[in-house]
A and B are shown apart, each in its own frame.
Chain A
């Protein structure tokens, strides 16, 4: 069984379009995250979402918005796509966040490669 899944795996779109990436976890975790891996393979946190509390990395443009229909899902919606948005986007989840403990081990999805033309 897949623990953290993302769809689609690949997404190719034109500049200016709006797109969404879906993420689902079946681990019963309370916290979900979105990370961006740029062309140099560097991973950076974008958002974390826990008990309806959204914490945003201040460097993320407001064109990016996470949406959580329920605890098992955290989708990423991107408006007005730009060339610089091309990257691999990873969803992750953990039981909790912000404190030490095995419950905060993060598990990652397979990634969505977004290409903006």
Chain B
């Protein structure tokens, strides 16, 4: 059974800093890893999808990596902005069951102006 853990649970940094959000998973048979952001009272916005054969994906100021052997993924945010403030969720797909994603509990990020 896949379990996903995100560290830290909360993070507050000044604007302009580069930062790293961490995600770990227990089942190395993961086939996709997806990063989302969730704004308060809103739905989930997909940020990046990393397939099991890939090691990283980039979109603008975001870079996500995947290391299946160590069971880890990181989301790197460059030059953080107040608009980046949100909860970031990591989710892994590893088949079986309802074939849905298994989510971590998220990192609540605040970027101070």
A: residues with CB less than 8 A from B are 31, 33, 35, 40-48, 50, 55-58, 90, 92, 97-102, 104-111
Contact = CB atoms under 8 A, between A and B. Distances in A.
A7 to B, nearest CB: 13
Chain B: number of interface residues, binned into ranges:
20 to 34
Contacts of A40: 105
Nearest to A60: B98
Interface stretch (B11-19, B29-37, B76-84): B29-37
Interface of B: 31-32, 34, 36, 42-46, 49, 51-53, 87, 89, 91, 93, 95, 97-103, 105-106
Contact of B98 (A43, A57, A99, A111): A57
Contact of A41 (B51, B98, B106): B106
Interface centre among A97, A100, A104, A108 (most CB of B within 10 A): A100
Contacts of A97: 93, 99
A41 B53 CA distance: 30
A47 B101 CA distance: 11
A110 B106 CA distance: 18
